[in-house]
C-alpha cells in the first residue's frame, strides 16, 4: 500500500497540465456550487429559524432530512430535468460544467440551510428580546443575527464544501465525465480505479484530500482570528 | 502532421461505451478528426444500454456501440438514421493462472464455458446491459446453458463496467469475459491471464449511428454526419488500425461501403 | 409633557403552561416618579415588565399607552446585556439606525451617549470583550441615545459587583433627572430605597400593595410585602 501511495505521489508531482486542468475544474465547480448554495441557503435558514408559520416543524424536519440526499439520486433527478427529453432540455445544459454546478448546488443547499437554521435559532434565543426591544422587525432581525454569527456559519459552509468536493455520483451523471470538458477529480479517481490504475487514483485522491484540508485549515484560522477580535 | 489545425467550429456529443473509451481508442482517434474538421468530439462513455438510451432521449448526436441486435432495434424504432459497421475487436476469456476449469490455451469459447459451469469455477459477469454483457449472454446460450436459471454462487453478477468487473475478477481469482482493449490497458491483473481467445464467436462488431434529427430536431446533423463519414473513410479506417497497445492492434476496421 | 404616559394596564392577565403568571392586574404608570417593582422570585416581575414593554402579549386585558408612537419612545435594559459583535460605538449606532435616526446624526449621538455613561475611552473596543459592568453601562448608553420617555430595567445589577452597581445606579439617576420615567425590578431593598419613588409589590401574579417609598419602608401595609421585607418570603 505504501508503494502505491508513493508512486501515486510521484506520478502526481510529475504530472502535467491535464492534472491541473482537472483540479482547476473541480475547484471551480465545487466552489461555485457552495457559493450559490450559501447565497441562497443562509437567508433561507435564517428565515425559517426566525419565522413563525404553520407547518414550520415539518419544514425543519424535511430540511434536515434533505441533508442526506444521495448524490447519485440528485444527479439522476437533474439529468432527467436537463435531458433533451426533459422539461429543461432546451437549455442544452446537460454534460456541461454548469450542469455539475447546478447538481452540486442542489445537493449542498439543504446542508447549509439546515445548519444555518440551527445556528441562527440558537443565537436568536439570545438576541430576540433585545432586538425586538429596540424595535427590530422580523426579517431585519434574522439578517442582523446572521451577520453577527457569520464566523460560526463558516462551519456550515465547510460542511457544504466537503460534501461537494467529495461526491462523484451527481457530477458523473450530469457531467458525463467527458475528457477535457467535465472530468473532475472524483470522476477521474473513479475512472482510474475502474481501469485498474490504482497508483494514479491514489495520487489524485491524496491531492484532493490535501486541498480540502488546506481549505479547512484556512477557515479555522479565520474563525480563530475573528474570535479574538470580536469576542 | 505538419498541417495547421482547423479552427474549432463546434462540438458533437457521442454516446459510446466505457470499454471503447478505456481502451484509449478515442484519445488516439479524435484529435485527428478534430484537427482536420475543427469539430470537437465530446464522448460520454456509458454502458451500451445507457448509450442507446441517451440516443433515444436526444442527449447525444451520434451513438457508437457494439451490440448489433440492440442497434438494429434502435434504428428500426426510428431513433437512428442508419446503422453502419465500422470496426470489430475481440473478446478474450481471462482466468486465474491456476486454471481450475482447465480451459487455458483453448480456442473454443463454448467448450470453455461448459467446462467452467461443470466445475462451478468462479466467473465474474458485468451484468450491466452492456455490449460485453450481451455478448457474454449470447455465448452461454450458444453453449446450451440457460445462465439465468442455472447460475449458482460461482457466477458473480457485478452490475458494473469492464474495469470494476476485472478488479473483482482479479480480487476473487475468477474467470471473466473482457474486450481485448480493456485487458491490454488494465493494470491490476493480479494472477489473471488470457485463457481463451481467437474463437470467431468472440469477435465484437461496432456500429455507428447518427441520432435521427426527425425525432430530435436539435441534433447536430451536419457535424454528426461529418464524424460518421470520416470514421468510415479510408483515413478514419486506417487511423483505427494504427492504434496499438504494446505493439498489438486492438481494433480491426471493416467498413464495407454501400 | 409626556406623549405616551400614563401607561394603563386594564385587567391584564398572562397565562403560560396552564397557569396564570400575571392575574388581573390593573394599574396606571404616570410620568415623573420612579417605580420599583418588588417581589419574590416567581412573583411575575419579569413577565409584568415584558407585558408593559410589549415583548409579550397579554392573554386577556389591555396594555394601553396614552399617545402615538409608544414603540419608539421606550427602551429596556435586561439583566444580561446583549451586544452585537461590533465595537461599543457600533452597537449604539445600530440602535439609532433601527430607530430611524438619519445617518448623519448617528455617530454624534452615539458618542455623546458613550460620554454620558463614561465609556468614551472604549468606544472602538469590541463590545463583547468589555466587562459585565461595562457592557451594562453600554446597554444604558444605547438606551440613552434613543432618548426614551420610559425606561424599563429588569434587575440590571443582579450580576454586578458593588462598584459596578454604583455606576449603574448613578446613570439611572441621570435618566430620572433628564425626565425619563424609570420602571425597574430589583431584589435589593437598598437599591429600591436609593432609586425609587414608589413601590409596586407583586405576589403570585397580583399586585399586593402599591405605596410611596416612605410609606413602604420600613414597614409595608400588606402582610405579604411585610413578610418579604422581613426576609421570610424569598420565593413566591
Q: Do the domain assignments include residue B192?
A: yes
pLDDT in tens, B88-115: 989 999 999 999 999 998 899 999 999 9
Which CATH number applies to A2-230: 1.10.3720.10, 1.10.10.10, 3.40.190.10, 3.40.1650.10?
Answer: 1.10.3720.10
Q: Same domain, yes or no, for B214 and B162?
A: no
The span from the CA of A78 to the CA of B212, in Å, is 24
Residue C165 has pLDDT above 50, yes or no: yes
Contacts of A181 in chain B (CB under 8 A): 42
pLDDT in tens, A41-60: 999 999 999 999 999 999 99
Question: What's the average model confidence in pLDDT over C87-106?
Answer: 96
Q: Do the domain assignments include residue B4?
A: no
- List chain A domain ranges: 2-230
Q: What does the mean pLDDT of chain C come to?
A: 93
CA closest to A226 among chain C residues = C85
Q: For residue B101, give every residue at least 6 positions away whose Cβ sits within 8 Å of its Cβ, in sequence order, or none.
A: B95, B112, B115, B116, B118, B119, B121, B175
Q: Same domain, yes or no, for B211 and B84?
A: yes
Q: Do the domain assignments include residue B3?
A: no
3-state helix, strand, coil in chain A (%, to 5): 80, 0, 20
Higher pLDDT, B41 or A4: B41
The span from the CA of B3 to the CA of B36, in Å, is 9
The span from the CA of B186 to the CA of B24, in Å, is 11
Q: For residue C114, give every residue at least 6 positions away whose Cβ sits within 8 Å of its Cβ, in sequence order, or none.
A: C88, C89, C92, C120, C123, C138, C141
Flag the least confident range among A66-80, A207-221, B1-15, B80-94.
Answer: B1-15
C82/A132 touch (CB, cutoff 8 Å), yes or no? no
Domain span at B46:
10-88+205-253
CA closest to A91 among chain B residues = B218
The span from the CA of A97 to the CA of A22, in Å, is 12
Map grid coordinates 445600530 to a residue: C94
B187/A195 touch (CB, cutoff 8 Å), yes or no? yes
Among the listed residues C181, C135, C182, C141, the one whose alpha carbon sits nearest the alpha carbon of residue C159 = C135
Question: What's the average model confidence in pLDDT over A119-130?
Answer: 95
Residue B85: what pLDDT? Answer: 95
Q: What is the pTM of this model?
A: 0.84
Report DSSP letters for A55-110, one per residue. THHHHHHHHHHHTT--HHHHHHHHHHHHSTTSTTGGG--TTSHHHHHHHHHHHHHH
Domain count, chain B: 2
Question: β-pairing, B123-125 with B244-245?
Answer: unpaired
Q: Same domain, yes or no, for B95 and B222?
A: no
Residue C152 has pLDDT above 70, yes or no: yes
Question: What's the average model confidence in pLDDT over A82-109?
Answer: 95
Q: Same domain, yes or no, for B102 and B179?
A: yes
Q: For chain C, what percent of residues have pLDDT higher than 90?
A: 81
Q: For chain A, what percent of residues have pLDDT higher than 70?
A: 97
Chain A: closest CA distance from residue C224 (Å): 31
Q: For chain B, what percent of residues have pLDDT higher than 70?
A: 98
Contacts of A94 in chain B (CB under 8 A): 59
CA closest to B170 among chain A residues = A196
Among the listed residues B89, B101, B95, B102, the one whose alpha carbon sits nearest the alpha carbon of residue B198 = B89
Residue C64 has pLDDT above 50, yes or no: yes
A196/B18 touch (CB, cutoff 8 Å), yes or no? no
Burial string for C172-200 (b: 16+ CB within 10 Å, else e) reads beebbeeebbbbbbbeebebbeebbebbb
Q: For chain B, what percent of residues have pLDDT higher than 90?
A: 65
- H/E/C letters for each residue in B62-127? EEEECCHHHHHHHHHCCCEEEEEEEEEEEEEEEEECCCCCCCCCECCHHHHHHHHHHHCCCEEECC
Question: What's the average model confidence in pLDDT over C93-111?
Answer: 96
The span from the CA of C118 to the CA of C133, in Å, is 12
Q: Same domain, yes or no, for B51 and B146?
A: no
Task: Check if the beta carbon of residue C114 is closer than 8 Å to that of residue C125.
Answer: no
Q: For residue A211, give every residue at least 6 positions away whose Cβ sits within 8 Å of its Cβ, in sequence order, or none.
A: A23, A27, A165
CATH number, position B76: 3.40.190.10
Q: Same domain, yes or no, for B110 and B167?
A: yes
Task: Check if the beta carbon of residue C136 is closer than 8 Å to that of residue C81.
Answer: yes
Q: What does the mean pLDDT of chain B come to?
A: 91
The span from the CA of C226 to the CA of A96, in Å, is 81
Chain A: closest CA distance from residue B118 (Å): 30
Flag the least confident range among B197-201, C105-109, C123-127.
Answer: B197-201
Question: β-pairing, B62-65 with B39-46?
Answer: unpaired
Q: Same domain, yes or no, for B93 and B170?
A: yes
Residue C155: what pLDDT? Answer: 95
Reading the block at residue B14, the C-alpha cell is: 457521442
Q: For chain A, what percent of residues have pLDDT higher than 90?
A: 69
Q: Do the domain assignments include residue B14?
A: yes
Per-residue confidence band for B204, with pLDDT thresholds at 50, 70 and 90? confident
pLDDT in tens, B148-189: 888 889 999 998 888 889 999 999 999 999 988 888 878 888
Q: Which of B22, B58, B170 sits opposite A195 (nearest CB)?
A: B22
C125 touches chain A (CB under 8 A): no
Q: What does the mean pLDDT of chain A come to?
A: 91
Local structure of residue C218 (DSSP, 8 states): S
Which CATH number applies to C7-81+149-229: 3.40.50.300, 3.20.20.70, 3.10.20.30, 3.40.50.2300?
Answer: 3.40.50.300
Residue A231 has pLDDT above 80, yes or no: no
N-terminal to C-terminal alpha carbon distance within chain C: 38
Q: Is the bond leading into A15 cis (omega within 30 degrees of zero)? A: no
A133/C72 touch (CB, cutoff 8 Å), yes or no? no
C126 touches chain A (CB under 8 A): yes
Residue A152 has pLDDT above 70, yes or no: yes
Model ipTM value? 0.92
Q: Rounded to whole angstroms, what are the CA distances from A206 to A12, A31, A168, B236? A: 9, 19, 16, 39
Q: For residue A112, give every residue at least 6 positions away whose Cβ sits within 8 Å of its Cβ, in sequence order, or none.
A: A34, A37, A38, A41, A42, A45, A156, A157, A159, A160
The span from the CA of C121 to the CA of B82, in Å, is 86
Residue C235: what pLDDT? Answer: 54
Q: Same domain, yes or no, for B149 and B182?
A: yes
Residue C236: what pLDDT? Answer: 44
Residue A133: what pLDDT? Answer: 96
Question: What's the average model confidence in pLDDT over A102-107?
Answer: 97
Residue C1: what pLDDT? Answer: 54
Higher pLDDT, A15 or C140: C140
Higher pLDDT, C44 or A8: C44
Q: Same domain, yes or no, for B93 and B196?
A: yes
Flag the least confident range among A151-160, B127-136, C6-15.
Answer: B127-136
Amino acid at each position: 500500500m505504501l508503494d502505491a501511495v508513493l508512486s501515486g505521489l510521484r506520478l502526481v508531482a510529475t504530472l502535467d497540465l491535464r492534472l491541473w486542468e482537472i483540479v482547476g475544474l473541480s475547484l471551480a465547480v465545487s466552489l461555485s456550487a457552495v457559493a450559490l448554495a450559501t447565497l441562497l441557503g443562509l437567508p433561507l435558514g435564517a428565515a425559517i429559524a426566525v419565522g413563525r408559520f404553520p407547518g414550520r416543524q415539518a419544514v425543519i424536519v424535511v430540511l434536515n432530512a434533505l441533508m442526506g440526499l444521495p448524490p447519485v439520486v440528485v444527479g439522476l433527478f437533474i439529468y432527467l430535468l436537463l435531458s433533451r427529453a426533459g422539461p429543461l432540455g432546451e437549455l442544452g445544459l446537460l454534460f456541461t460544467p454548469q450542469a455539475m454546478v447546478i447538481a452540486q448546488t442542489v445537493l449542498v443547499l439543504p446542508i447549509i440551510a439546515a445548519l444555518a437554521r440551527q445556528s441562527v435559532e440558537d443565537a436568536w434565543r439570545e438576541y430576540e428580546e433585545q432586538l425586538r426591544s429596540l424595535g427590530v422587525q422580523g426579517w431585519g432581525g434574522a439578517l442582523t443575527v446572521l451577520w453577527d454569527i457569520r464566523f460560526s456559519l463558516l462551519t456550515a459552509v465547510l460542511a457544504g464544501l466537503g460534501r461537494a468536493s467529495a461526491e462523484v455520483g451527481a457530477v458523473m451523471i450530469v457531467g458525463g465525465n467527458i475528457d477535457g470538458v467535465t472530468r473532475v477529480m472524483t470522476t477521474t479517481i473513479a475512472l482510474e480505479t475502474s481501469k485498474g490504475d490504482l497508483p494514479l487514483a491514489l495520487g489524485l485522491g491524496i491531492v484532493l484530500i490535501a486541498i480540502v484540508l488546506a481549505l479547512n485549515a484556512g477557515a479555522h484560522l479565520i474563525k480563530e482570528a475573528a474570535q479574538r477580535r470580536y469576542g | 502532421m505538419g498541417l495547421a489545425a482547423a479552427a474549432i467550429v463546434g462540438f458533437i456529443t457521442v454516446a459510446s461505451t466505457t470499454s471503447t473509451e478505456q481502451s484509449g481508442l478515442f484519445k488516439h482517434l479524435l484529435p485527428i478528426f478534430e484537427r482536420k474538421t475543427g469539430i470537437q468530439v465530446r464522448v460520454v462513455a456509458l454502458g451500451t444500454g445507457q448509450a442507446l438510451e441517451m440516443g433515444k432521449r436526444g442527449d447525444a448526436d451520434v451513438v457508437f456501440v457494439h451490440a448489433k441486435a440492440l442497434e438494429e432495434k434502435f434504428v428500426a424504432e426510428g431513433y437512428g438514421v442508419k446503422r453502419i459497421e465500422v470496426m470489430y475487436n475481440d473478446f478474450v476469456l481471462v482466468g486465474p493462472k491456476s486454471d481450475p476449469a482447465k480451459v487455458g490455451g483453448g480456442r473454443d469459447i463454448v467448450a470453455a464455458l461448459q467446462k467452467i459451469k461443470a466445475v462451478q469455477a468462479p466467473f465474474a459477469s458485468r451484468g450491466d446491459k452492456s455490449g460485453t454483457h450481451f455478448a457474454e449472454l449470447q455465448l452461454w446460450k450458444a453453449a446450451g446453458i440457460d445462465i439465468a436459471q442455472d447460475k449458482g454462487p460461482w457466477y458473480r453478477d457485478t452490475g458494473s463496467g469492464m474495469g470494476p468487473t476485472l478488479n473483482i475478477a482479479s480480487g476473487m481469482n475468477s474467470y471473466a469475459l473482457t474486450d481485448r482493449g480493456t485487458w491490454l490497458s488494465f493494470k491490476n491483473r493480479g494472477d489473471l491471464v488470457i485463457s481463451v481467445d481467437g474463437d470467431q464467436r468472440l469477435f465484437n462488431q461496432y456500429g455507428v449511428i447518427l441520432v435521427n434529427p426527425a425525432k430530435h430536431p436539435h441534433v447536430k446533423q451536419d457535424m454528426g454526419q461529418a464524424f460518421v463519414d470520416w470514421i468510415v473513410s479510408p483515413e478514419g479506417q486506417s487511423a483505427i488500425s494504427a492504434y496499438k497497445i504494446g505493439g498489438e492492434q486492438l481494433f480491426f476496421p471493416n467498413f464495407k461501403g454501400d | 409633557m409626556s406623549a405616551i404616559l400614563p401607561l394603563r394596564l386594564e385587567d391584564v392577565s398572562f397565562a403560560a403552561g396552564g397557569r396564570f403568571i400575571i392575574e388581573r392586574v390593573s394599574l396606571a404608570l404616570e410620568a415623573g416618579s420612579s417605580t420599583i417593582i418588588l417581589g419574590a422570585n416567581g412573583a411575575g416581575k419579569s413577565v409584568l415588565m415584558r407585558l408593559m414593554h410589549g415583548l409579550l402579549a397579554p392573554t386577556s386585558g389591555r396594555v394601553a399607552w396614552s399617545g402615538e408612537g409608544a414603540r419608539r419612545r421606550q427602551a429596556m435594559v435586561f439583566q444580561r446585556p446583549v451586544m452585537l459583535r461590533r465595537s461599543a460605538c457600533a452597537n449604539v449606532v445600530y440602535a439609532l439606525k433601527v430607530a430611524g435616526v438619519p445617518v448623519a446624526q448617528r455617530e454624534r449621538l452615539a458618542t455623546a451617549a458613550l460620554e454620558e455613561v463614561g465609556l468614551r475611552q472604549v468606544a472602538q473596543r469590541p463590545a463583547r470583550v468589555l466587562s459585565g459592568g461595562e457592557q451594562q453601562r453600554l446597554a444604558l448608553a444605547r438606551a440613552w441615545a434613543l432618548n426614551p420617555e420610559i425606561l424599563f430595567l429588569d434587575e440590571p445589577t443582579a450580576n454586578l459587583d458593588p462598584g459596578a452597581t454604583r455606576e449603574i445606579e448613578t446613570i439611572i439617576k441621570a435618566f430620572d433627572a433628564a425626565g425619563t420615567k424609570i420602571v425597574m425590578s430589583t431584589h435589593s431593598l437598598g437599591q429600591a430605597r436609593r432609586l425609587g419613588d414608589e413601590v409596586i409589590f407583586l405576589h403570585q401574579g397580583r399586585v399586593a400593595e402599591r405605596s410611596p417609598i416612605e410609606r413602604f419602608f420600613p414597614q409595608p401595609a400588606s402582610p405579604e410585602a411585610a413578610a418579604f421585607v422581613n426576609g421570610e418570603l424569598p420565593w413566591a
